[in-house]
Amino acid sequence: MASSSVCNPSLPIHHHHNPSAANTTASVFAGTGGGSMVTAKKKVAVIGAGAAGLVAARELEREGHRVVVFERGEKAGGTWVYDPSTETDPLGIDPCRKVVHSSLYRSLRTNLPREIMGFLDFPFSIKEGRDLRRFPGYQEVELYLDDFAAESDVLKAIRFRTEVFHVGMMEGGKWVVKSRRDFGEDVAVDVNEIYDGVVVCSGHYAEPRIAEVPGVERWPGEQIHSHNYRIPEPFQDKVVIVIGSSESAADISREISKVAKEVHVSSRSALDRFGKKFYGHENMWLHSMIQGTHEDGTVVFQDGTSVIANVILHCTGYKYHFPFLETNGAVTVDDNRVGPLYKHVFPPSLGPWLSFVGLPWKTIPFPMMELQCKWVAGALSERIALPSEEEMMKDVEAFYSRIAAMGYPKHYTHNISGCQFEYFDWLATECGYPKGEEWRKEMYFANTRNKTENPDTYREEWEDHDLISQAHEEFSRLKQQHSVKNM
């Protein structure tokens, strides 16, 4: 099941102005998205200054809206701002724990090649004196986002150290946003404001989801979620169970195996390889799900094998979590489905005044968020028309029925791996932009294949050299276009 995903059907395109439909290259993304046609400027609150919040601010400002970005951290970048500290509850489930936003581990390098990872009109190019690798470390992504924020001139719109603790609806369709600015030394100031629109960009990798492990209350070992994993040293000489088969599970289990006594990966997928060693790793085994745990430290897998282990590390993903949002039931989170949402962005009854950016997963996040933000910005100025509430609701219901008919659980709602490029193209068309270039799709699939076949080496060795050349040609066209514009 993990290899597939639920897909959202394409609705007919609705009437809207089409600022650059005749253009067929991605270079048009550098444009202002038809800012000259703005019909109504709005006051818009953006919650979060990660990649989503930054690109939201840029697109909203390009459209002429007045933007305030709320960010509880001290700098922009969200996930990409590494924090060596971890939460007081290593499993991340205690609601009173000290929350650490970033889930990065110290060795993290991107799992996407930089050519496709960056925003469409701001390539993630190599810069002299910086991390030149095709799959750079997290610091390089943070620097890239700093460059993006500076170039887009959005920093002035951000209120740092300011947490939004309430977003609620008011009579007349406006929104009240309550925030708390932290001045340090126990000084905080609360502010209540009214906005026309709210764009939620608060991320979804901070609220851990953990696996249910039978008997774990009596099991004497330690448990931790990957959200609180930073470095392998604490696992020296231990027997570690890693639950999950995500990208993080793959990276972390390999890293830990260098210091641990044994690593046992418990996974729902890869049925034919249960009980076998990982290729090239002498102390790493793959198992089925955990059947039970016992007081003497034993962990029994469904495949019949068992080990005495010291640690269970949950690499089991995250929950969508919007503790600040009060919509009187118009949007809920049910088994990790945020809904109802039209095309993962607008609640039919509240769009375009409330929107969510960045929810879909198993995708290329930055360009997706950029396209979503163009749509949101255009819809807020009424340059791009949304379908009626009834039509949007019908589309959502049809989408949910299809998920159910395919036998997918609700928590697959925002997994767009099987249709992400259709989704990107749908968004681009809706905003009046051309569809994405072929090399991006091909490079994504080439990388996915390489990662699956060569999980230990895909960041160092690849074969898609022709696609890299095509990417660089595209980037130089973009650069030329920028310099002509700025002359």
Ligand X SMILES: Cc1cc2nc3c(=O)[nH]c(=O)nc-3n(C[C@H](O)[C@H](O)[C@H](O)COP(=O)(O)OP(=O)(O)OC[C@H]3O[C@@H](n4cnc5c(N)ncnc54)[C@H](O)[C@@H]3O)c2cc1C
Q: What residue ranges bind ligand X (CB under 6 A)?
A: 47-53, 70-73, 78-80, 101, 103-104, 110-112, 117, 163-164, 201-203, 205, 248, 324, 358, 365-366
Task: Locate the DSSP E strands across 8-64.
Answer: 43-47
Q: Least distance from C-beta 30 to ligand X, angstroms?
A: 20
d(CA 377, CA 67) in angstroms, rounded, equals 11
Tokens describing residue 370? 């950029």
Helix (H, G, I), strand (E, B) or coil at 356: strand
Q: Least distance from C-beta 358 to ligand X, angstroms?
A: 3
Q: Least distance from C-beta 259 to ligand X, angstroms?
A: 20
Dihedral sign for Cα 122, 374, 6, 358, please. positive
Which burial class, exposed, middle or buried, applies to 222 when counting CB atoms under 10 A from its CB (0-12, 13-18, 19+)?
A: middle
Cα Rg of the chain, angstroms: 23
Q: Which is nearer to ligand X, 248 or 288 (CB)?
A: 248
CA-to-CA separations, 386 to 365, 375, 393, 395, 472, in angstroms, rounded: 23, 10, 12, 12, 36
Q: Which is nearer to ligand X, 26 or 359 (CB)?
A: 359
d(CA 433, CA 367) in angstroms, rounded, equals 13
Q: Which is nearer to ligand X, 252 or 431 (CB)?
A: 252
Tokens 């500076």 correspond to 150
Q: Least distance from C-beta 55 to ligand X, angstroms?
A: 8
H or E segment to which residue 272 belongs:
none
Q: Least distance from C-beta 466 to ligand X, angstroms?
A: 23
Helix (H, G, I), strand (E, B) or coil at 314: strand
Q: Least distance from C-beta 162 to ligand X, angstroms?
A: 6
Q: Which is nearer to ligand X, 164 or 284 (CB)?
A: 164
Tokens 């699956």 correspond to 452
Q: Which is nearer to ligand X, 288 or 372 (CB)?
A: 372
358: region left, alpha or beta (phi > 0 left; psi from -120 to 50 alpha): left
Q: Is the distance from CB of 283 to CB of 261 less than 8 angstroms?
A: yes
Q: Least distance from C-beta 80 to ligand X, angstroms?
A: 6
Q: Least distance from C-beta 77 to ligand X, angstroms?
A: 7
d(CA 472, CA 411) in angstroms, rounded, equals 37
Q: Which is nearer to ligand X, 68 or 201 (CB)?
A: 201
Tokens describing residue 38? 């703005």
d(CA 267, CA 191) in angstroms, rounded, equals 47
Q: Is the distance from CB of 403 to CB of 27 less than 8 angstroms?
A: no
Exposure string over 98-137, b if 16+ CB within 10 A, otherwise e: eebbbbbbeebebbbbbbbbbbbbbbbbeeeeebeebbbb
Q: Least distance from C-beta 201 to ligand X, angstroms?
A: 5
Q: Is the distance from CB of 424 to CB of 367 less than 8 angstroms?
A: yes
Q: Which is nearer to ligand X, 168 or 365 (CB)?
A: 365
Backbone angles phi, psi at 125, to 5 degrees: -80, 160
Q: Least distance from C-beta 320 to ligand X, angstroms?
A: 11
Tokens describing residue 74? 């001290």
Q: Least distance from C-beta 238 to ligand X, angstroms?
A: 22
Helix axis angle, 51-62 relative to 365-380, nearest 10°? 40
Amino acid symbol at 445: F
Q: Least distance from C-beta 225 to ligand X, angstroms?
A: 12
- Outline where 34-113 has alpha helix (H): 51-62
Q: Which is nearer to ligand X, 100 or 468 (CB)?
A: 100
Q: Which is nearer to ligand X, 101 or 264 (CB)?
A: 101
d(CA 272, CA 277) in angstroms, rounded, equals 12
